[in-house]
Amino acid sequence: MKNNLSTAAALLLGSVCTPAFAQNTVDVGVINNKDVTVVQKLLYPKAGGQEYGAHLAVMPFDAYTITPAAAITVAHHFREDMGVEAVIMGGYGMKSSTYKELEAPPYGVAPDAYGFLGSAMVDFQWSPIYAKMNVAGRRIFHHDVFFTAGTGMTMEQAIQPDSTTTTSPTFGASVGLRVFTGKNYAFRIQLRDDLLIQKRTKTADTQGTFLKQNVSLVIGMSKLGGK
């Protein structure tokens, strides 16, 4: 009798209990691409915060000068993808090998070239891409891609002996990559192109307004601050 009751209880229990995974299964069908959005929180948010940076730069593409430089940046990020940044850069334009060759015999010609001394810019910054990358299967780095456009002033000095200086209205644009390294620090690399509206009064045959490009490669570190 006791065995019969145990068997009956087991059958009854089996009939009313179903596997838990079967109850939790939900078929949502096919998800369209337009319905997929980022749902996780950003590990390194920028919205509402500041960013302070120190950078080294070089302008290697000018025909007559080569310029080492340094810069400091201060940015405020209104949103994750939008902000404004102030850039102060200083450097010294030196004679390139081409310039030295032209001023030496047998040419004996000193081109009317100007070397970079410093600039102050205010840029609008747009950061449309935030992503993660796997490096050699060992570490995940968070990074973003940003673009800037802005205006300011640039001071330059003539390479010729009287060292005439000129201050030029400047319009700049750049593309950069910010790689977050932990503790709210980021490694930044940026390719910047500044267009100068420059007036020169060096010699009679070169007087007038010139359009000059200063293309620089900028590498540095920045720190994200709180709101």
The 10s digit of each residue's pLDDT in 159-175 is 988 788 999 999 999 99
Higher pLDDT, 152 or 159: 152
**pLDDT at residue number 176:** 97
Task: Yes or no: say if 90 and 67 are a contact pair by the CB < 8 Å rule.
Answer: no
Number of H helices, E strands in the chain: 3, 9
Q: Does residue 26 surpass a pLDDT of 70?
A: no
What is the average pLDDT value for the chain, to the nearest integer? 85
Match 């078929």 to its residue by tokens. 27
Can you give the pTM of this predicted structure? Answer: 0.78
Structural domains for the chain = 51-224 (2.40.160.20)
Sequence-separated (6 or more) residues with CB below 8 Å from residue 33: none
Other Cβ atoms closer than 10 A to 107: 9
- Residue 2: the pLDDT is 47
